[in-house]
Copies of this chain bind each other. A is one copy, B any other.
Amino acid sequence: MTHLTSKTQINTSNNIHAIDSNSFVVSERKFLFQMGDQLDGIYRVNSGCVKLSRNTADGEKQIIGFYMAGDLIALDALADGFSHSTAVVLETANISLIPFATILNQDAKFDHHAFMHQLGVNYNNDNDHTMMLSQPAERRLAWFITKFSDGLAKRGMIANKFRMPMTGTDLASYLGMALETLSREIRGLCKQGLLNKSNRNIELLDMKYLIKIAAGGNADQESFANANAGWETSTNRTISY
């Protein structure tokens, strides 16, 4: 893995291709930045998928989020210019650097309104994540799956059949559970007929019921899938949040 700390390196690395002055491509498994790096601004993900992680005080790595088109990352660098998290690309990504100067200076060409809006969206997503962590494992998983699917729908992609860009280990860390627990919970949802899974390929069979679980509806209740078998109930409906 290469390691990016400055724009100079961006231009010299053969894994990172400048598209224009502000946007560049980072390929799978490459670092965008690491904890402690001094950044020139914050980043916007234009396409692909990036994971952010942090180290706990005792050195364990924890995933704090997965970011896709439109998301802002490295917001923590607003505090002091240094990144407090590590960014690794999961799916080859097009990234824009938004320099601090652009954010602070009254550059009319920069859409401050959209920036602030996105900041709020990111903030809300993070809060949702935080809140889910004190919920039962099955609920956390159902929440993630429906939210991920919704994210795809919002970006105009197929929402009921997709490939997870992250490993189970990463997802388990993000959801605050052991890898084994994640594996068992996924199997549980499969057995309930709510989804199919092979490797990282997921097919949602009963979105409504998954949403119900995510919202705290108990999985022991009668499944919508059982009560109303078929595809009518499992269309890739858009979740509002």
Contacts and interface: CB of A to CB of B under 8 A. Distances in A.
Interface in A44-88: 54, 56-58, 60, 62, 64, 75-80, 84-85
Interface in A99-129: 100, 103-104, 106, 112-113, 116-117, 119-121, 123-124, 126-127, 129
A133 interface: yes
A126 B130 contact: yes
A134 interface: yes
A13 B58 CA distance: 49
B56 A120 contact: no
B176 A78 contact: no
Contacts of A84: 124, 127
A14 B54 CA distance: 46
B133 A56 contact: no
B80 A131 contact: no
A155 B129 CA distance: 29
Given A64-B130, A126-B127, A127-B54, A75 B120 contact: yes
A215 interface: yes
A165 interface: no
Interface in A181-206: none
A135 interface: yes
B133 A76 contact: no
A216 interface: yes
A40 to B, nearest CB: 14
